[in-house]
Amino acid sequence: MANKPTRSHDPETLRVLSAIRAALEDKKAEDIVMLDVGEKSSITNYLVLATGTSEPHLRALRIEVDRVLDETGTEILGRDAEPGSGWVVVDAFDIMVHVFLPEMRAHYQIERLWGDAAALSAEEVGASLR
């Protein structure tokens, strides 16, 4: 994965992205990855990937993401949170959040599918906001 994003980033979207990451960290999500897919995807600009430890944990993480999006005034276009699926998706247009159980994340290997996307660190997102 490339380390540096190559385009300018909307500060408001970066604030939401940063708030989502912080909320996932606070709720003990594991292996959080943010990818800039804007130059490669026609449906979103950023992917946030995280791992939860159980179905109840996935539900709690989804609720926390919903809360952040609501508090920031970000519209949720859709969500897919089929009970027992091991995978939750929240679509907020510019940002799409995927939270998996470990076995589902390993199976689908979303990071590998987007291997040419720029990975964003929390520090890079924060620095972009200054």
Structural domain of 35? 11-129
Q: What is the pLDDT of residue 119?
A: 87
Q: Is residue 81 part of a domain?
A: yes
- 46-51/95-100 β-pairing: parallel
> Hey, is 98 helix, strand or coil?
strand
Q: Is residue 105 part of a domain?
A: yes
Total number of domains in the chain: 1
> Quick one: tokens of 61?
């993480």
Q: Is residue 6 part of a domain?
A: no
> Quick one: tokens of 95?
């940002």
**Confidence bin at 5 (pLDDT 50/70/90):** very low
Token pair 């620095």: residue: 127
> Quick one: tokens of 42?
């026609």
Q: What is the pLDDT of residue 8?
A: 52
- pLDDT 10s digits, 6-15: 455 788 999 9
Tell me the residue ranges of DSSP E strands in the chain: 30-36, 46-51, 78-80, 87-92, 95-100, 118-120
- pLDDT 10s digits, 54-110: 999 999 999 999 999 999 999 999 999 888 999 999 999 999 999 999 999 999 999
Given a cut of 90, whether residue 127 has pLDDT beyond it is: no
**CA gap 5, 109 in Å, rounded:** 21
Q: Is residue 5 part of a domain?
A: no
pTM for this structure? 0.88
Determine contact, residues 48/96, Cβ cutoff 8 Å: yes
- pLDDT 10s digits, 31-60: 999 999 988 888 999 999 999 999 999 999
Specify the CATH number for the domain of residue 58.
3.30.460.10
